[in-house]
């Protein structure tokens, strides 16, 4: 279910907020988390979800590493979810 995956995406990004991460990674994570939070809080059409999770995916692609192993694991999970959600229905 998309709503569950959106929530998991947000939860992974939100979990990085309390972890010590590199400054540049923090900026990308903050923006990605805000986009994911907005999607969780609002009901959006699937095309909007694809577009916005694509933005999250692009932001996360800019992060080479966070300097924190736990944060890196959350980023990896968030990348996978964002890619999955952004690609859904692309052939529709």
pLDDT, one tens digit per residue, over 27-71 is: 999 999 999 999 999 888 989 999 999 999 999 999 999 999 999
pLDDT of 71 reads 98
Q: Is residue 65 part of a domain?
A: yes
Domain hosting 58: range is 2-87
Q: Is residue 24 part of a domain?
A: yes
- pTM for the model stands at 0.91
C-beta of residue 66 within 8 angstroms of C-beta of residue 33? no
Q: Is residue 92 part of a domain?
A: no
User: What's the mean per-residue pLDDT of the chain?
Assistant: 93
Q: What is the mean pLDDT of residues 17-35?
A: 97
Domain count, the chain: 1
Six-digit token pair at 66? Answer: 């966070």
pLDDT of 68 reads 98
């Amino acid at each position: 279910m998309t709503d569950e995956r959106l929530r998991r995406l947000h939860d992974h990004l939100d979990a990085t907020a309390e972890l010590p991460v590199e400054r540049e990674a923090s900026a990308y994570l903050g923006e990605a988390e805000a986009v994911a939070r907005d999607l969780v809080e609002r009901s959006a059409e699937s095309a909007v979800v694809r577009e916005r999770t694509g933005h999250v995916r692009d932001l996360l692609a800019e992060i080479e590493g966070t300097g924190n192993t736990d944060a890196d694991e959350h980023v990896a999970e968030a990348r996978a979810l964002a890619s999955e959600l952004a690609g859904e229905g692309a052939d529709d």
